[in-house]
Amino acid sequence: MCYGLRYFLDPVSFVCLWAESDQASERFGYAVALGDLLLRVNARRFLQHLSPWFDISIDGLSLVDSDAV
């Protein structure tokens, strides 16, 4: 079965894939954990690094630096 997922970067959530349909939401929940998907290692690593990179691009701080502010 194929599930529809949406790609959307949500600041600070560390989630970039979201359920598009009721079937996908029932299977994965609304925020889709990458570990629940059958992905190649490189694809999973790439997606895992997108959210922190996006957060840094917004505020210019690393996640470690943001605790100091």
Q: What is the pLDDT of residues 9-44, one digit of tens each?
A: 887 788 889 999 999 999 999 999 999 999 999 999
Phi first, then psi: what are they for 58, rounded to 5°?
-80, -50
Whole-angstrom distance, CA of residue 20 vs CA of residue 60: 31
No. of H helices and E strands in the chain?
A: 3, 2
pTM: 0.69
